[in-house]
Every structure is written in structure tokens, then in C-alpha cells.
Amino acid sequence: MSAIDQMFAQLRREGRKTLIPFLSAADPDLDFTTELLRRLPEAGIRLCEVGIPYSDPIADGPVIQDSYTRALERGITVREILEAIHRVVAETPVAPITMVSYAIVYRHGLQAYVQEAKQAGVAGLIVPDLPLEESSPLAEVCRQQDLSLIQLITPTTPKERAKRIAQQTTGFIYYVSVVGITGERTQLPPEVVDNVAWLREQTDLPICVGFGVSRPEHVRMLAPVADGVIVGSALVRRIVDSKDQPRSKTIENLLSFLRQLAEALEIK
């Protein structure tokens, strides 16, 4: 079992869900990213996405795109990010997942990227621009390294295709709650609950829901059907909005926000 498999197996035994924050690596810098990663357990976090900056992300909205641009303008590299993750995993129980463009993985070399990610302590990969039909080579390399390859299913994915994606996925399914790009929403579409409930009948894999999640009421809506809830743009925006504050205060405020969302996952 991979690290993600083990974590979800334990959560299911305990009857618990998990909140999964998304951090844009090196925004505002790697020291901030690593410090927040170290402290995520204070908010009960067990799993975290780390976005690898890329100049042309396929599904990210302006908040995350801008964070990637800032990091790239400072010259951040994949190796520096993986080295930073390696330093952190020895000090925290949080399992990191890299959200990474296939262009980066391919240029790096499939075997090389997966090996380096595994050595750094990465538990899984999310590769949003890798279509199902082209995913087998990377899936095989990940299988050899016991690294989860998490794939996305959207509201517009045909049902038969969704079943095939579920069969190829390891770790958990990333269900995209809304049509379009990442970003905070005031409301989530009501049909997302039924969509996830249908998907639950097709697979034993954990299902985690992301895109648009930014409020405790969103989390409460998803908690009955999802194994986990992913929050990204709302967190990245708070980091940007806090740029003039002391870092210690920013991190405390972020942890408080994450605790509110995590508490909303508790089904009463």
C-alpha cells in the first residue's frame, strides 16, 4: 500500500474525513512554504498538495496562475522544491502530493521525476494535463515506485470514461466540483453531491473534491459524500493578501482558517 492508501485506510477505520490544502510552492518563497507545511498538523492536516509552478497551467485560475508567475520570476526550480519537501517530511506527518504539469514531468524524464519525488518523500502526483489515453507509461513508473497517480474526473466527464479513469487511478480520485478553472466560488453547484454519490458506487477509491471550495458551508455540503475536500485558491489568496503582515501572524491566520474548514468536515 502507498502512503496515501495507508492514510485513507486509517481515516476510514476512524470514521474521519480529511482536508487537503493546496500550497503554491515558493510563493512568497520556499521558506514560507516549508514553514507552513511543518505546521499543518496543528490544523489536523494529514495530506497537502504542493503546486509546482508552471508558465501555462491548464486548469488554474488567476490567483494560482499569478502565484506561479511570481515563483518563476524568482527562478525557482523543481529540484529546489523537491529538496525543500525532503527537508520537511522528516519533521512532519503530513504527506505531500505534487500538482505538476506533464510537460515538467516529461522534460525531467518520467523515471527521473518519479524517483526524485519518491526520494523527497512525495506520496503522490496529480498531473492535470495528462489525458487518460496517455497516462499508462507514467502510471507504470508510479506503480513501480509505489507512488499514487491521482487523476481528475469533472462534471462533464462521460460516465463510461469516468469509470475508466477510476480504474487507472491510485491513491484517490480528484473530483472537480465545477466546470471551469480553479478559484473561489460563492456557491457550489447542487448536483455535485449527486455526482460524487454516483461515482462512489463505481469505485472503492477515496474521492476528494476540489475547485471552488472556500467556505465552511461548502465543506459541510460535501462532507456526507466525500472522503476529503481540497482548498486551494482561497488559501493562496489569503497568503497574497497578508504580504504586509508579519509571517508569524499570516501563518497563524492560515491555520485558523484551515481549522474552521476541517471542523466543518465533522459530520454531526
pLDDT tens track for 221-255? 999 999 999 998 899 999 999 989 999 999 999 99
Give pLDDT, residue 258: 97
Give pLDDT, residue 268: 47
Q: Is the peptide bond before 224 cis (omega within 30 degrees of 0)?
A: no
Give pLDDT, residue 211: 85
Q: 49 catalytic, yes or no?
A: yes
CA distance 47 to 98: 11
Other C-beta atoms within 10 Å of 86: how many?
16
- Domains along the chain with CATH numbers: 18-147+217-255 (3.20.20.70)
Q: 42 catalytic, yes or no?
A: no
Q: Please state the pTM of the whole predicted model.
A: 0.94
Residue given cell 480528484 in the structure block? 174
pLDDT tens track for 173-202? 999 987 655 545 556 878 999 999 999 999
pLDDT tens track for 43-70? 999 999 999 999 887 766 788 899 999 9
Q: What are the respective helix, strand and coil percentages of the chain, to the nearest 5?
A: 50, 15, 35
Give pLDDT, residue 56: 81
Q: Is the pLDDT of residue 213 over 50?
A: yes
Q: CB–CB of 61/233 below 8 Å?
A: yes
The whole-number average pLDDT for the span 18-40 is 96
- Out of 27, 49, 184, 227, the active site residue is 49
CA distance 118 to 242: 33
Q: Is the pLDDT of residue 11 over 70?
A: yes
CA of 75: how far to CAs of 69, 80, 88, in Å? 10, 10, 21
Name residues whose C-beta falls within 8 Å of residue 146's C-beta, 6 or more positions apart in sequence. Answer: 2, 118
pLDDT tens track for 80-125? 999 999 999 989 999 999 999 999 999 999 999 999 999 999 999 9
Q: Determine the Cα angle at 133 with ends 127 and 138, to 5°.
A: 45
Q: CB–CB of 149/171 below 8 Å?
A: yes
- Out of 27, 42, 56, 60, the active site residue is 60
Query: How would you write the chain as a 3-class SS string?
Result: CCHHHHHHHHHHHHCCCEEEEEEECCCCCHHHHHHHHHHHHHHCCCEEEEECCCCCCCCCCHHHHHHHHHHHHCCCCHHHHHHHHHHHHCCCCCEEEEECCHHHHHHHCHHHHHHHHHHHCCCEEECCCCCHHHCHHHHHHHHHCCCEEECEECCCCCHHHHHHHHHHCCCCEEEECCCCCCCCCCCCCCHHHHHHHHHHCCCCCCEEEECCCCCHHHHHHHCCCCCEEEECHHHHHHHHHCCCCCHHHHHHHHHHHHHHHHHHCCCC
Give pLDDT, residue 149: 98
CA distance 74 to 32: 14
